[in-house]
């Protein structure tokens, strides 16, 4: 399977770019979706999180309150470590399973931790979705309703923009509108179809 890794900082447009690849018939494996699947109500991981942080970390319907959890871990490095030790192996195993099961010409593997999390090993290409930091902050604030200070703190905790760009085999500039994003995705799609075909020969 020809795997194209796709990454970018918070609010850079990974989901928007991924949706464009999906429209072209490409299977998406999303590390964030997998991360939600492993903590669905009834999962052993969610029970462990509730036991550790208390039931206040759950919403009324039993789902994980991701915003509350985000506040807890970004203010406490030890709690973040504890959570990652629980979730990363589960996410890794489920991601590998989904990549194996994919059946389009190539597969997009989207992950915010593609470069710093050492997940490049899965990937033949690395696409970085890039926007200036101020645009990351304002788009994230208007999407999530988080205040600027929290978004800036999350941004500062992520891999440096220049390091991320240096790891890219392909860069999507998402500082323009969605049409400009879609055009870049269509161009990359043609390249990846070609590369996947060559690889299969
Ligand atoms: P996260 O890392 O937080 O999951 P992300 O990289 O997946 O974020 P998106 O959710 O795709 O980012 O984009 C962030 C916000 O910016 C969303 O509200 C999205 O609709 C908006 N957005 C993305 N691309 C564009 C664009 N080209 N023009 C305008 N708005 C955009």
- Reduced DSSP (H G I as helix, E B as strand, rest coil) percent helix, strand, coil of the chain, to 5: 60, 10, 30
Distance 77 CA to ligand 1 centre (A): 27
Residue showing tokens 């992950």: 111
At 72 the three-state DSSP class reads: helix
pLDDT of residue 95: 87
Atom of ligand 1 nearest to the CA of 17: 11
pLDDT of residue 1: 87
Q: Give the largest Cα separation in the chain, rounded.
A: 54
Distance 194 CA to ligand 1 centre (A): 28
Ordered DSSP codes for 13-52: SHHHHHHHHHHTT-EEEEHHHHHHHTTSTT-HHHHHHHHH
| Domains within the chain, CATH numbers bracketed | 3-26+104-200 (3.40.50.300), 38-92 (no CATH)
For ligand 1, say whether the CB of 11 is within 6 Å of any of its atoms: yes
Tell me the average confidence (pLDDT) per consecutive run of 10 residues in the chain, 201 residues long.
95 96 96 91 96 96 94 91 93 89 94 84 93 97 93 94 96 98 98 94 84
Distance 143 CA to ligand 1 centre (A): 8
For ligand 1, say whether the CB of 16 is within 6 Å of any of its atoms: yes
Query: Residues 39-83: pLDDT tens digits?
Result: 999 999 999 999 999 999 999 999 999 999 999 998 899 999 999
Distance 176 CA to ligand 1 centre (A): 11
- Whether the CB-CB separation of 185 and 110 falls below 8 Å is answered with no
Distance 15 CA to ligand 1 centre (A): 6
For residue 42, how far is the Cα from the chain centroid?
24
pTM of the model: 0.84
For residue 57, how far is the Cα from the chain centroid?
22
pLDDT of residue 113: 86
For ligand 1, say whether the CB of 111 is within 6 Å of any of its atoms: no
pLDDT of residue 118: 75
Instruction: Give the CA distances from residue 178 to residues 22, 126, 130, 163, in Å, rounded to whole numbers and listed in that order.
Output: 15, 21, 13, 25
Ordered DSSP codes for 91-144: HHHHHHHHHHH--SSSEEEE-TTTTTTTGGGG-SEEEEEE--HHHHHHHHHHHH
- Give the integer Cα–Cα distance in Å for 167 and 181: 20
For ligand 1, say whether the CB of 14 is within 6 Å of any of its atoms: yes
For ligand 1, say whether the CB of 197 is within 6 Å of any of its atoms: no
Distance 32 CA to ligand 1 centre (A): 14
Burial class (CB in 10 A: 0-12, 13-18, 19+), 148: exposed
Ramachandran region, residue 146 (left: φ > 0; alpha: ψ -120 to 50; beta: rest): beta
For ligand 1, say whether the CB of 182 is within 6 Å of any of its atoms: no
- Give the integer Cα–Cα distance in Å for 3 and 32: 17
């Amino acid at each position: 399977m020809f795997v194209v890794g796709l990454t970018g900082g918070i609010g850079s447009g990974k989901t928007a770019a991924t949706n464009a690849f999906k429209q072209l018939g490409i299977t998406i494996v999303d590390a964030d979706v997998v991360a939600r699947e492993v903590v669905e109500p009834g999962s052993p991981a969610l029970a462990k999180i509730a036991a550790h942080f208390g039931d206040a970390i759950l919403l009324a319907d039993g789902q994980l309150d991701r915003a509350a959890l985000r506040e807890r871990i970004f203010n406490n490095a030890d709690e973040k470590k504890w959570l990652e030790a629980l979730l990363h192996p589960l996410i890794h195993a489920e991601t590998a399973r989904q990549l194996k099961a994919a059946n389009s010409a190539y597969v997009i593997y989207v992950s915010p931790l593609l470069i710093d999390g050492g997940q490049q090993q899965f990937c033949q290409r690395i696409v970085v979705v890039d926007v200036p930091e101020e645009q990351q902050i304002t788009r994230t604030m208007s999407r999530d309703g988080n205040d600027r200070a929290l978004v800036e703190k999350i941004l500062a905790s992520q891999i440096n923009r220049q390091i991320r760009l240096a790891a890219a085999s392909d860069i999507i500039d998402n500082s323009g509108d969605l049409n400009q994003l879609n055009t870049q995705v269509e161009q990359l799609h043609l390249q990846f179809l070609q590369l996947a075909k060559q690889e299969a020969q």
